[in-house]
Amino acid sequence: MIIDPWSSTTYQDYARLRDEFGIEEFNTKLWKDLPNPHKLLRRGVIFGHRDFHLIKDFIQNKKPWAILTGLMPSGKMHLGHKMVIDEVIYYQSLGADTFIAVADLESYGTRGYSLEETKKLALEEYILNYIALGLKPERCRIYYQSKNQDVKDLTFLLGKKVNWSQMVATYGFNGSTNMTHIMSPLIQTGDILHVQLEKYGGSKPVLVPVGVDQDPHIRLSRDIAQSHRLFNVTKTKDNKIGVFLKVDKNIIKLLDEAELILKKLKFKKLKRITEYKAIYIEDANENDIQKINLEFAQNESKLGGYGFIQPSSTYHRFMTGLTGEKMSSSKPESAIFLTDTPKEANKKINQAKTGGAITLEQQKKEGGKPDQCVIYELFLYHLIEDDKELQSIYLACKNGQKMCGNCKKYANELMGKKLDDLEKQRKIAEKKFNLYL
């Protein structure tokens, strides 16, 4: 199976995706102790992750980490796009160093927009809404892929350790795929990894919250990060913890440096085998690997490497469109846009498919199906903050005490307020906007 990030496939069987691609389940333990956990975390909308433990550890221990997302300007911003930025705003509030890539090169390569068009769309449609939603632009770095020399350099340099077969296996590219499209996963890898360059504060955990369609890029970035490391810190087949040098130049000097790093970490029983380019740490156990790996990553740039820590990711479920298929900018009736007027949104809500029964009597008797209802999804993802209120709607629907007409009316009310408020915030942001962009 291949996940194609540029197709309009909808994904439903999230458990299967998790198994197939080795994504871990995002369980309660991961978010419970975070400060004011965001509703998307609490409600299982975030269903999977890679290495979120690391992020959690850094949040709790107040160590520096970064969050990064990218926006591909194509069409207007809708509620489906809003989820990632809600997450980013939450993590920014926890103190994450925040980066936002405007994926103008990707949009050019895969969607056929010119760089000028993407620029206008990115600013007027996306960034303005991000700020209106609560992103603090003064505490975040927003950049264009096409203008960021560090990202572009990495795109080229990191490509050294990826070959064509890997790209075909991951993305299904073929002989007629255009070259900019072929490069765009490497550009995204450049986005994701450049924040660990010295200039941006060096090696650190980076969280990339995405929909599962972006997982191929995450896998590629993690592979590339690892393959550019000078040292591999790992448990061997015979259960020893070891540090292995991966390059063939300056072996003696690099192993000397590695010993110094390990001594600084207070390990004493080191067994160096130079011809294997290895140092075994006999007084370390599995729980020490993360700490040792971080320390090595942070030292590698001084030793001529990059020291990339593999980026972490979380995956959210997709919102269903109001018509029942995928929410998409190209089908305006399926999506609520952040710039819709309350009246426009109400019309779409009124026409939306619900989980209600065919007749009122039947619904009273058998109850509705909130799990298959777009209106309920609106409450769950966007409109209701209070978990208790949400749960009472869920139960009342299931028990047949709630009817869809009323429910839609309430959704209209909440959505109307939200859109009015956004409009106000956009006006305010527009002033700041000139300041920052």
* Binding residues for ligand TRP (CB under 6 A): 68-70, 72, 101, 103, 106, 188, 191-192, 208, 210, 214
Give the nearer residue to ligand TRP in terms of CB position, either 311 or 367.
311
In the block, tokens 């995405």 appear at 210
From its phi and psi, is residue 48 left (phi > 0), alpha (psi between -120 and 50) or beta? beta
Q: How far is the CB of 194 from ligand TRP (least distance, A)?
A: 10
Q: Give the one entry of ligand SF4, ligand TRP, none that residue 402 binds, where binding means its C-beta sits below a cut-off of 5 to 8 angstroms depending on kind.
A: ligand SF4
Give the nearer residue to ligand TRP in terms of CB position, either 151 or 390.
151
User: What are the structure tokens assigned to 132, written together?
Assistant: 């209106």
Of the candidates 23, 355, 380, 384, which one interacts with ligand SF4 according to CB under 6 A? 355
- The amino acid sitting at 130 is Y
CA dist 91 and 59 (Å) reads 9
Helix, strand, coil share (%) of the chain residues, nearest 5:
55, 15, 30
Listed ranges 231-239, 354-362, 383-391, 415-423: which one lies at the site for ligand SF4 (CB under 6 A)? 354-362
β-bridge partners, 241:
235, 281
Give the nearer residue to ligand SF4 in terms of CB position, either 290 or 323.
323
- The amino acid sitting at 41 is L
User: What are the structure tokens assigned to 215, written together?
Assistant: 């997982």
| CA distance to 73, 120, 127, 132, per residue, from 338 (Å) | 14, 17, 12, 10
Told to check if 376 binds ligand SF4 by CB under 6 A, we report: yes
Q: How far is the CB of 370 from ligand SF4 (least distance, A)?
A: 4
Helix (H, G, I), strand (E, B) or coil at 424: helix
Told to check if 368 binds ligand SF4 by CB under 6 A, we report: yes
Residues comprising the chain, all counted: 437
Give the nearer residue to ligand SF4 in terms of CB position, either 225 or 319.
319
Q: Give the one entry of ligand SF4, ligand TRP, none that residue 103 binds, where binding means its C-beta sits below a cut-off of 5 to 8 angstroms depending on kind.
A: ligand TRP
User: What are the structure tokens assigned to 379, written together?
Assistant: 């409450």
Q: How far is the CB of 159 from ligand SF4 (least distance, A)?
A: 48
Site for ligand SF4 in 392-421 (CB under 6 A): 397, 402-404, 407-408
Q: Any residues with CB less than 8 A from the CB of 6 and at least 6 apart, and which?
A: 110, 181
Give the nearer residue to ligand TRP in terms of CB position, either 38 or 81.
81
Strands 206-211 and 66-71: parallel
Give the nearer residue to ligand SF4 in terms of CB position, either 3 or 397.
397
Q: How far is the CB of 205 from ligand SF4 (least distance, A)?
A: 38
Q: Give the one entry of ligand TRP, ligand SF4, none that residue 101 binds, where binding means its C-beta sits below a cut-off of 5 to 8 angstroms depending on kind.
A: ligand TRP
- The amino acid sitting at 63 is K
User: What are the structure tokens assigned to 19, written together?
Assistant: 């198994």
From its phi and psi, is residue 192 left (phi > 0), alpha (psi between -120 and 50) or beta? alpha
Q: How far is the CB of 377 from ligand SF4 (least distance, A)?
A: 9
- Residue ranges binding ligand SF4 (CB under 6 A): 354-356, 368, 370, 373, 375-376, 397, 402-404, 407-408
